[in-house]
Chains A and B, each alone.
Chain A
């Protein structure tokens, strides 16, 4: 049997349903964001871990020039190594029938017996190449899909300068290539880059590595310390051109996935708190008003024998119901979006399956947080009134006390109209309530600025990547380093207008106990195409000696300008040199270290060399150039910057609309929740006063001005506060989302501020106008009869 008090509760809730829904929606946003972040995080982590485990993803990775096969047994015998697998890994240029431009492939050899023990490819179709076969390959699924390849199909590749027809034996995925990008590109491009598993003997003959390998992957025994293993492997590989052993964190696919997961986690803690705090304020505001209206009823309830506690619980229950509504809505929306997000990630990353299980912790945490904030807001509202003695509660509250102060002097000085004075006095009389409205508007703007800022950051990064740093149209990767003659030769390729050579070598940088495996790139001062930029986006003048480090790398090495860094070269004479840090530059993408070309070559005691060519080309002659590249044995890779950019834009635009819509909805919901409630409360408190104005002959518009004016005045003040807070959020997000791979620039454009402002202003105006319509329905005669 439902008690009378509970029946009152349900009726109260029905009476304030619109306000309750507005609060529940704001709350639901916070809850949903937690569920989405943690849910997606859990789904992806579980999927990744299961995939790694089932397909035995290696833990250490090393490459070298040419290692005799016999060394493998020695490596496998190192203390702490559970499994070791030797492979041949190299790049090939692809000549796909439907592509004018050359594609690129990474050949990965399988063990001699054809049964990999580490990084086991997961067959999707067909089979792995027969160990005795020649030119049979299993193709990575995304590449196969992009080209419609099926087992039995064949395509042409330039393997080590020789054109060969490769036959597709199967389609596969691998935990090693959940995220794949080709050399000298920045994004996955499944059409132009693929992974090809080949039999050991076919790869060995193709790359002249009979009886040898150039790539090694290891799995450690449980609990083994990787450091001594890495040292031992490095020592063994050193005579064979080893370029240093690294753990999973330096493995591209793993590092990228890890970055994505860390970003998800960072985001989970930035936005949701705003929504929780705003809903607590809203509950406080709405319940506070309800209790004020029911003050006499509370007195009556106390007079007939209800305890303070029972009455407090009655109102807290009402808040709890609103909270439950928000939590349920948030859970539902969160689960729905989290599944969608996981699927999106599943498409972006190459997972063969998705392990999706709801995160109990996320549900528990979001539920508890939501209920706690709602009840905290409610408690403050309930506290004051329910403690009143019955006789006091039953008599009407003392009228609000107004005093004259600065605002009044200013108002008189400015000869403000009395209706304007009413607005100003209401704000100064109830500063707390005005602050909630202002805070809500500011929070809204902040959420929008903090979200839309991503688009600004991406624009800046794009500009830096494609217009300022990399101005070449094409980058050719050379099979091996060559003299400057290669630059001259390239000038004679069809359609080539400008050529600049590039040179990069693998190194290990050490500073104190910190180490990092990096690529050290040569830069000269006169280059036009590939440029290194400073904070002001001006080309950096390369110092005559010393290293130029990007900020992120300097941080990783704990190095500053003037510090000495040990540079261990994995090429040439394989010497270690002590080199000072000449300068630290801010760079958005990548962690490579830089050095003036002359200085680098002098250090390596060699004549100037190149292993990369950057080109400006006459696009009309592209087909001829492509044809030539496919026939040139010295070229192992081609990157087309226009295509990279196009791909980048495509990926960005694919989800642009959805993300803008989601962010905008989140931001606008706060405004709607706060403004709608504030206006309803204003109207409820002032119905009598506003009806009096109508009686005195004020038009609807003039009376509406008092209601709309106050809210919009607060909105306008809240906007700049929101700009500041939004910049703060952007800074937090930039910090949280920056990783070793990418340094998110903190830039907020005027148009971001502009859009946030327009969205919030319009939604505030619409919300208050919806409430304003109730003014038209006020019955003047009866409004004047009842006091309050």
Chain B
């Protein structure tokens, strides 16, 4: 049986209180395995982003427990959670979240400077499919290129897990494919466990497993026996 990298037990998240309370997650039990690529699907408001934020220690659950390997994240202090993010997690967001005043190379260096065993920024950029234009500022890059800088920045620290929130959401299909190719390649070559949120059903075919969320709960988990390459994904 595959070793799990993340495990959640009855994770609940409630925003607000009283009649205005919003239940984003209503008891999620889920395990993500080492080295696997998981796609999380769900409608808007299904709780997929909340779950990803909780896994990445950007947010804490209202109830329930989250384990990273054998460590219980829900017991850690703020400083320990910062260290956890720094050492183990790479993030990729829909809006790239690059620092506009740093060039592509420097945005990656931002992370390699604080990571324990990073790759060189150039290597990370090459792996992310952006060997050129390293000295351009974000404003001088296209959306796809910016997202690849974000991916390079996420993988440069050799994270144990890559969490991607709608990484192709702001991109056209052609550019989206190149970004997915970069993610799949990294998953293949480095064996980095990857969780990818999308509302694009077509993308699920590139995953090892698909987790479908609805109304704050895991409604279905599908093992994908026939993975396809990102280039074959129809948008």
**Are A and B subunits of one complex?**
yes
Contacting residue for B139 out of A401, A422, A694, A699, CB 8 A? A401
A404 at the interface (CB under 8 A from B): yes
Task: Flag if A696 contacts B91 (CB, 8 Å).
Answer: yes
B68 within 8 A of A: no
A228 to B135, CA, bound (A): 86
Instruction: Please tell me if A305 contacts chain B, counting CB pairs below 8 Å.
Output: no
Q: Are B110 and A696 in contact (CB under 8 A)?
A: yes
Instruction: Return chain A residues, CB-CB under 8 Å to B101.
Output: 400, 402, 421-422, 425-426, 429
Nearest chain A CB to B26 CB, angstrom units? 18
**Residue contact A698 to B86, C-beta cutoff 8 Å:** yes
Find out whether the CB atom of A696 lies under 8 angstroms from the CB atom of B111: yes
Confirm or deny: A163 has a beta carbon within 8 angstroms of a beta carbon on chain B. Answer: no
- Give chain B interface residues in 78-124, CB to chain A under 8 Å: 78-79, 82-87, 89, 91, 93, 95, 97-103, 106-107, 109-111, 113-115
User: In whole angstroms, how far apart are the Cα atoms of A426 and B99 in the complex?
Assistant: 11
Is the CB–CB distance between A418 and B97 below 8 Å? no
Contacts of B82 in A (CB 8 A): 694, 697-700
Report Cα–Cα, A692/B91, bound state, in Å: 10
Interface assignment of B53: CB less than 8 Å from any CB of chain A: yes
Given A695-B91, A698-B82, CB of A689 within 8 Å of CB of B113: no
The residue of chain B having its C-beta at the shortest distance from the C-beta of A423 within the complex is B101
Question: B85–A418 contact, CB under 8 A?
Answer: no
* Contact indicator A695/B59 (Cβ below 8 Å): no
Tell whether, in the assembled complex, residue A689 and residue B79 are in contact, meaning their CB atoms are under 8 Å apart.
Answer: no
Complex Cα gap A747–B35 (Å):
73
Q: Which residues of B contact A781 (CB under 8 A)?
A: 49-50, 53, 58-59
Q: In the complex where A419-B110, A784-B97, A787-B95 touch, is A696 in contact with B102 (Cβ < 8 A)?
A: no
Which residues from 680 to 700 on chain A have a C-beta closer than 8 Å to any C-beta of chain B?
A: 688-689, 692-700
Does A402 lie within 8 Å of B99, measured CB to CB? no
Interface size class for chain B?
35 or more
- Within 8 Å by CB of A697, from B83, B93, B107, lies B83
Q: How far is the CA of A517 from the CA of B98 in the complex (A)?
A: 79
- Taking a contact as CB atoms under 8 Å apart, the answer to whether B135 and A696 are in contact is no
Q: Compute how far the CA of A88 lies from the CA of B107 in the bound complex, rounded to whole angstroms.
A: 91
Contact residues of A between 143 and 194, Cβ < 8 Å to B = none
Q: How far is the CA of A488 from the CA of B42 in the complex (A)?
A: 113
B95 contacts A780, C-beta separation under 8 Å: no
Would you give the shortest CB distance from A621 to chain B, in whole angstroms?
75
Complex contact B58–A780 (CB within 8 A): yes
Residue of A nearest to B121 (CB): A418
Task: Name the residue on B nearest A699 (C-beta).
Answer: B82
Q: Which residue of B lies closest to A702 (CB)?
A: B114
The answer to whether A695 touches B58, judged by C-beta atoms less than 8 angstroms apart, is yes
Do A404 and B135 form a contact, CB below 8 Å, given A425-B101, A695-B91?
yes
User: Is residue B129 contacting chain A, with contact meaning CB distance below 8 A?
Assistant: no
The reply to whether B100 and A399 contact each other, CB–CB distance below 8 Å, is: yes
Interface of A is mostly: helix
Contact with A along B106-150 (1 / 0, CB 8 A): 110111011100000000000000000001011100000000000
Decide yes or no: A696 and B139 within 8 Å by CB, A425-B101, A429-B101, A689-B100 being known contacts: no
Cβ proximity bits A393-408 to B, threshold 8 Å, 1 near / 0 not: 0000011111110000
Q: Is A399 a contact of B139 with CB atoms below 8 Å?
A: yes
Q: Report if B7 contacts A (CB, 8 A).
A: no
| B106 & A418 in contact (Cβ 8 Å cutoff) | yes
Instruction: Let me know if B97 and A692 touch, CB within 8 A.
Output: yes
B153 at the interface (CB under 8 A from A): yes
Residue among B82, B98, B102, B137 facing the most chain A CB atoms (10 A cut-off) = B82
A400 nearest CB neighbor, chain B only: B100
Q: Are B137 and A402 in contact (CB under 8 A)?
A: yes
B93 touches A425 (CB 8 A): no
CA distance A721 to B93 in the complex (A): 44
In the complex, A417 has a CB within 8 A of chain B: yes
Q: Which of A399, A404, A418, A426: most chain B CB closer than 10 A?
A: A418
Chain A 691-725: CB-based contact to B (< 8 A → 1; otherwise 0): 01111111110100000000000000000000000
| Neighbour of A692 across the interface among B50, B99, B157, CB < 8 A | B99
9 A-B pairs whose Cβ atoms sit less than 8 Å apart in the complex: A421-B102, A425-B102, A689-B99, A697-B83, A697-B114, A699-B79, A781-B50, A784-B97, A787-B95
Interface positions of A (Cβ within 8 A of B): 398-404, 417-419, 421-422, 425-426, 429, 688-689, 692-700, 702, 780-781, 784, 787
Given A698-B82, A784-B95, 13 more pairs with CB closer than 8 A: A400-B101, A401-B137, A426-B101, A429-B101, A693-B110, A696-B91, A696-B110, A697-B82, A697-B84, A697-B86, A702-B114, A781-B50, A781-B58
